[in-house]
Amino acid sequence: MPADPLDILRTTFGFPAFRGVQERVVARVMAGDGTLAVMPTGAGKSLCYQLPALARRGTAVVISPLIALMHDQVRSAEAFGIHAATLTSADSDRDETMRRFREGELDLLYVAPERASNPGFRELLRLTELSLFAIDEAHCVSEWGHDFRPDYRLLRPLLDAFPQVPRLALTATADEHTRADILQQLGLPQDGLIVAGFDRPNIQYRISPRDGLAQQLKAFIAEQEGAGIVYAPTRDATERLAAQIAEAGRPTRAYHAGLDPAVRAKNQRDFVASEDMVMVATIAFGMGIDKPDVRFVAHAGLPKSIEAYYQETGRAGRDGEPAVAQLFWGAEDFARARKRLGEVDDARVAGERTRLNALAQLVETSECRRAVLLRHFGEHPATTCGNCDNCLSPPATVDVTTVARKLLSA
């Protein structure tokens, strides 16, 4: 008898109810229908494949782009009593994982796209029953996404080799163009798209021009209670800003890919455990880090795209309590990005330019920031949110026009 999803939600996961669109996504996967779930960071995407993996017979194959992310996922799945493993070049227990897989002992098997697209792997998958394919960070399949990975393109033959196995693609970040592309690239039906609301009402968005960054950051951080992340554009900037922020007496750590892995892991652990630490990091930091009480995220420079901005700021306030996202930008950020345009191949220039224009619109607007952000994701938000810099203290130019309009209409 097939297990009941709601029972599993309560008994295995210990959650009283589905959140938002989870129920619809799970229902589609249970029915075997191909689905693309676009859900913001923190909305609970993992559960959308973990639960059907338990409720359906067989093992779920989860495609995920980063080994560190996979290990975090396995750890959190195991904490719920789910049998999960990774199959990566970093694992020394691959033989044992293969055995567990063949004997049907695994609920979830996490692999990277380059392994998944390997014909040998396809043969391995024939050795046992599969419950579903989950393609995490599915925007990586699209050149329109902000993080294109060619290996994701090679997944299609694997999926097509198992036509009876349902496929579920998941992403936090996909504009309408990217969504359509993901559906097409992964062979998902047009009506398989489920989009959750993107609004994060507890996050206060603030955007200011840079003018003495270190001072601005120190002043901003001095106002903030709780732990937070500062995203810096380069490894050097990370260490320099960390030293400057530490001068103000706040516990501070740096994080970037150039640090010794043991140091990096320790800094991350310290941050997750702390209630007031500032982590100054490159964007290598954040994916898969489970810290619901991050109270602020500051950007020392322009993010790569609106999607990246949304994802990075989305690490603040996952517990639903008030949080602040502060971006400091400069005209030189745009100049640098425009220069990079000349270096990408023609096919991608249009996408890059669109992304840059959207960012320019967000930082320069005197309208509600949230409205600009949510419209970018295809939503129809209210014109004011009351919880962004422009709504809380309207810029002078807007004051003038408002006053002028009032005078005219009087």
Exactly one of 5, 8, 18, 35 binds ligand ADP (CB under 6 A); that residue is 18
| Contact of residue 62 among Mg ion, ligand ADP, none (CB under 5-8 Å per partner type) | none
In the bound complex, what is the minimum distance in angstroms from residue 405's beta carbon to ligand ADP?
Answer: 42
Binding marks (x or -) toward ligand ADP, 46..85, rule CB under 6 A? xx--------------------------------------
**Cβ 40 to ligand ADP shortest distance, Å:** 7
How far apart, in whole angstroms, are the C-alpha atoms of residue 105 and residue 109? Answer: 10
118 contacts: CB under 8 Å, gap ≥ 6: none
Candidates 40-48, 148-156, 179-187, 232-240; binding stretch for ligand ADP (CB under 6 A): 40-48
Q: What gap in Å lies between CA 345 and CA 311, rounded to an integer? A: 26
Question: How far is Cα 311 from Cα 45, in angstroms, rounded to an integer?
Answer: 14
The stretch among 35-43, 102-110, 181-189, 345-353 that binds ligand ADP (CB under 6 A) is 35-43
Residue 22 binds ligand ADP (CB under 6 A): yes
Question: For residues 88-117, which are near Mg ion according to CB under 5 A?
Answer: none
DSSP strands (E only) in 130-196: 130-135, 167-171, 193-195
DSSP string covering 211-253: SSHHHHHHHHHHH--SEEEEE-SSHHHHHHHHHHHHHTT--EE
Tell whether the torsion through CA atoms of 241, 247, 248 and 254 is positive or negative. positive
Report the nearest approach of ligand ADP to the CB of residue 80 (Å): 8
CB of 401 to Mg ion, least distance (A): 42
220 binds, among ligand ADP, Mg ion, none (CB under 5 to 8 A by kind): none
Q: What is the DSSP letter of 4?
A: P
Q: For residue 3, what are its two tokens?
A: 């297990």
Question: In Å, how far from its chain's centre is CA 399?
Answer: 36
Please give the torsion angle defined by the CA atoms of residues 247, 249, 250 and 254, in that order, rounded to the nearest 10 degrees.
30
Q: Which of residues 251-290 bind Mg ion (CB under 5 A)?
A: none
209 token code pair? 């021009």
**Which position among 25, 26, 34, 44 is part of the footprint of ligand ADP (CB under 6 A)?**
44
d(CA 358, CA 155): 30
d(C-alpha 381, C-alpha 368), whole Å? 10
Look at residue 18 and give the partner it binds from Mg ion, ligand ADP, none, a contact being a CB closer than 5 to 8 Å depending on partner kind.
ligand ADP
Can you tell me which of 3, 6, 12, 15 binds ligand ADP, judged by CB under 6 A?
15
In angstroms, the CA 21 to CA 24 distance is 5
Q: How far is the CB of 250 from Mg ion (least distance, A)?
A: 29
Question: By CB under 6 A, which span of 38-46, 113-121, 222-230, 278-286 interacts with ligand ADP?
Answer: 38-46
Kindly tell me which residue out of 42, 52, 226, 286 binds ligand ADP, with binding defined by CB under 6 A: 42
User: Which CB, 39 or 109, lies closer to ligand ADP?
Assistant: 39
Within residues 38-77, the interface with Mg ion by CB under 5 A covers 45
Chain contacts with ligand ADP (rule: CB under 6 A): 15, 18-19, 22, 39, 41-47
